[in-house]
A and B are shown apart, each in its own frame.
Chain A
């Protein structure tokens, strides 16, 4: 038996097919992954993301610590409590230890990191904290529910009532507010509008049930993966790893080099990589013919000699064909071929963002 979130019993009651995910027993789907996917694109769905790790950072040096620890600069959040920032946490070689969201709180910061990387993240964060006056508090007693889709915010407001509706209406993308132990953020991992709500674990089941009654469909990790892939969002361990630089993982926008004086971990390695020339990039692939692209398949680029690799691939329920993300040589043009079971199939090479707000972009 793996770790279980406070919503485990309700997943089972609702017919969730439970699978192991990074040591957690999580729902893969509740019947049809495709139906859940479409529900998020067209209406509203919800995901239990309580397995993710929440860490609060307090102390006089909290800002200095995070400016050293993270490749994006938390100084951008200064004076804007509730504002969120997406960033990589890099090693000295410029590889990605994890990707995470950092929120500025009234006092201190909150980090939300991946579940499969929890132990190494915490070990790394504690080691780096030794030189700073900071305290790290993990918050395992919190649950987290992501509500996503064009009707997600309206339905969440309906369930939460007037008292909350006004505050939610005032949220811009990547903003949040806290009330007692609840945190409501306008963030997500699907390419649709929506909220990620952190709340006391003891209250999660009642909230989940109320959302379900309001017509928010329970969705599993399967739909979460097809939705994030259509949205062109990276998944740790697929598009990113300790051996892969953010500059080749389509994360250059999350690395803040200015000011020169900020010595974040990994900076020197990334500067050297930029100086010598970044030699790979992350792209999207579209297979218009039959078949399904899968992680690990080889990408053959025009010259036939250099190769890339599919980092994530799936059937896209919205587009009705297969899509993928792939790491390829920078010189890759508008077309390539992918080897599927020893056959080469032609693919289109596109920007790695296939669907946004219900609309196809490719």
Chain B
């Protein structure tokens, strides 16, 4: 069974979001998502400075078998991206919630976080497939 961390918020498109102490929000994809994708071989991330609208396409994650778009679960400006994924995309599989993070946003409307799924609600969605 895949891990769903209780302290995170989730989008039904399988991204997770974590509010950091400095008010930025880190985004990645869930353990359930990496498991469904299989071996990740390439991650295309947004550029630092990009303004993303809620639900906008933020990048692509490619596994051996398929390409999947990743979406911005909340709106905001990209303040950092995980450059380590360029050389080691498999980190998304081995450590999706920590070292396998994708990018960090400065949220334009922090209340959007409250409208994301909590762990229990996401578990329900993930189990339905």
Distance of A222 Cα from B86 Cα, bound (Å): 23
List of B residues within 8 angstroms of A314 by Cβ: 64-65
Given the complex of chains A and B, what is the CA–CA distance between A33 and B66 in angstroms?
Answer: 13
- The verdict on A315 contacting B64 (CB below 8 Å), with A33-B38, A33-B39, A290-B86 known, is yes
Q: Does A3 contact B (CB under 8 A)?
A: no
Q: How large is the interface on A (under 10, 10 to 19, 20 to 34, 35 or more residues)?
A: 10 to 19
Give min CB distance, B116 to chain A, whole Å.
Answer: 26
Q: A314-B64, A315-B64, A341-B60 are in contact. Are A291 and B44 (CB under 8 A)?
A: yes
Name the residue of chain A whose CB is nearest to the CB of B38: A33
Closest residue of chain A to B90 (Cβ to Cβ) is A34
C-alpha gap A283/B1 in the complex (Å)? 42
A34 and B67 contact, CB distance less than 8 A: no
B contacts with A, residue count (CB < 8 A):
12
B82 → chain A closest CB, angstroms: 15
Interchain CB contact under 8 A, A292 and B67 = yes
Chain B neighbourhood of A32, CB < 8 A: 38-39
Minimal beta-carbon separation of A228 from chain B (angstroms): 13
A292 touches B38 (CB 8 A): no
Instruction: Specify which chain B residues have a CB less than 8 angstroms from the CB of A28 in the assembled complex.
Output: 38, 65
A317 at the interface (CB under 8 A from B): yes
A25 to B60, CA, bound (A): 29
For residue B105, CB closer than 8 A to chain A, the reply is no
Contact of B41 among A29, A222, A292 (CB under 8 A): A292
Q: Which residue of chain A has the shortest Cβ distance to B69 in the bound complex? A: A341
Contact yes or no, B60 A315, CB < 8 A: no
A226 at the B interface (CB under 8 A): yes
Which residue of chain A has its CB nearest to the CB of B65?
A222
Residues of A within 8 A of B65 (CB): 28, 33, 222, 314
Chain B residue with Cβ nearest A221: B65
Decide if B62 touches A292 in the complex (CB within 8 Å): yes
Contacts of B66 in A (CB 8 A): 294
* B35-47 interface bits toward A, Cβ cutoff 8 Å, 1 = contact, 0 = none: 0001101101000
Instruction: Give the contacting residue for A317; candidates B44, B60, B64; CB below 8 A.
Output: B64
Contacts of B38 on A, CB cut-off 8 Å?
28-29, 32-33, 222
- Contacting residues, chain B, for A341 (C-beta < 8 A): 60
The 10 A-B pairs with the shortest beta carbon distances in the complex, nearest first, are A315-B41, A292-B62, A34-B39, A33-B64, A315-B64, A33-B39, A292-B42, A33-B38, A32-B39, A222-B65
Further pairs besides A291-B62, A294-B66, A341-B60: 20, Cβ < 8 Å: A28-B38, A28-B65, A29-B38, A32-B39, A33-B38, A33-B39, A33-B64, A33-B65, A34-B64, A226-B64, A290-B42, A290-B86, A291-B42, A291-B44, A292-B42, A292-B62, A314-B65, A315-B42, A315-B62, A315-B64
Would you give 16 A-B contacts (Cβ < 8 Å), ordered by A?
A28-B65, A32-B38, A32-B39, A222-B65, A290-B44, A291-B42, A291-B62, A292-B41, A292-B42, A314-B65, A315-B41, A315-B42, A315-B62, A315-B64, A317-B64, A341-B60
